[in-house]
Amino acid sequence: MIVGGVVLFVIGAILAFAVSFAVPGLSLPIIGGILMVAGAVLFIIGLVVTLRGRVTTEHRSVDPAGNASVRQRTTDGEPR
> How buried is 35 (Cβ within 10 angstroms: 0-12 exposed, 13-18 middle, 19+ buried)?
buried
Q: Which pLDDT belongs to residue 52?
A: 81
Residues 6+ apart with CB under 8 A from 20: none
Average pLDDT across each block of 10 residues of the chain; the chain has 80 residues. List them in order. Answer: 94 94 91 96 93 75 72 66
Q: Which pLDDT belongs to residue 68?
A: 73
Q: Which pLDDT belongs to residue 80?
A: 45
> How buried is 12 (Cβ within 10 angstroms: 0-12 exposed, 13-18 middle, 19+ buried)?
buried
Q: Which pLDDT belongs to residue 74?
A: 76
Spans of all domains in the chain: 2-19+27-61+69-76
